[in-house]
Amino acid sequence: MHIDIISVVPKLLQGPFDHSILKRASEQSLLEVRVHDLRAYGIGVHKQVDDYQFGGGAGMVMMMEPLVNCLEQLKSQRNYDEIIYLSPDGLTLQQSMANRLSLKENLVLICGHYKGIDQRFRDHYVTMEISIGDYVLSGGELAAAVLVDAIGRLIPGVLNDETSALTDSFQDKLLAPPVYTRPANFNGMEVPSVLLSGHQKNIDDWRYEQSIEKTKQRRPDLLQQYE
């Protein structure tokens, strides 16, 4: 998979992709992430990328021309499955969305800043808008990093154990059950005996029951599918 990220503050994305799982994905040529500085496509001597809003109001707006020039340059190199704008008014990121996007080959992520981007760019170029939650960030860079991580770990071969991602929270719209490791008894705090039984069906049943109970307590909204 190839992901291009367009940003006016590319230094904010230095680091998230250079460690752990995403670094391994890059080293194995399973995932390539490139960050592009929008100011390289800015207008005039000062490489302007934003301007005042028509109609007045506080905050600057990212201009059409730099965004279009950058995107057209990228499109001349490959065809993109989705052109994604990270925005607080986009569709809320969910596991099912990450699953679908992990099957794509080429994505562009556009990081908003200031008051956002010119609506005409959203109308004519963006194919998908995603939010990582009901709150506002200073820019889309952190949201882009979250999205890349959520997608990247699902690419076959990225995780050492590919079944691990299938048992994460939200894969079946339930929260994951509790997990334990050695020692089985730590200062009198014991691991549930069923996990030590070696009886896989009983273990699977226990985990499912725990997932239901945990979801009921913490995210009852997710259980509506079972009603």
d(CA 110, CA 87): 9
The string of pLDDT tens digits covering residues 176-212 is: 899 999 999 999 999 999 999 999 999 999 999 999 9
Task: State the architecture of 2-152 in CATH terms.
Answer: 3-Layer(aba) Sandwich (3.40)
Give the angle subtended at the CA of 61 by the CAs of 38 and 9, to the nearest 5°.
35
More confident: 192 or 170: 192
The string of pLDDT tens digits covering residues 95-124 is: 999 999 999 999 999 999 989 999 999 999
Query: 174 — phi, psi (to 5°)?
Result: -125, 155
Cβ neighbours of residue 102 closer than 8 Å, sequence gap 6 or more:
1, 151, 152, 154, 155
What share of the chain in percent tops pLDDT 70?
A: 93
The string of pLDDT tens digits covering residues 53-83 is: 999 999 999 999 999 999 999 999 999 999 9
pLDDT for res 24: 83
- Count of C-beta atoms within a 10 Å radius of residue 64: 16
Helix/strand number for the chain, H first, E second:
6, 9
d(CA 144, CA 113): 12
Q: Which fold has domain 169-226?
A: Trp Operon Repressor; Chain A (1.10.1270)
226 pLDDT above the threshold of 60: no
CATH 1.10.1270.20 residue spans of the chain: 169-226
End-to-end CA gap in the chain: 38
CATH 3.40.1280.10 residue spans of the chain: 2-152
Any alpha helices (H) in 58-106, and if so which ranges? 64-75, 95-101
pLDDT for res 157: 82
pLDDT for res 164: 53
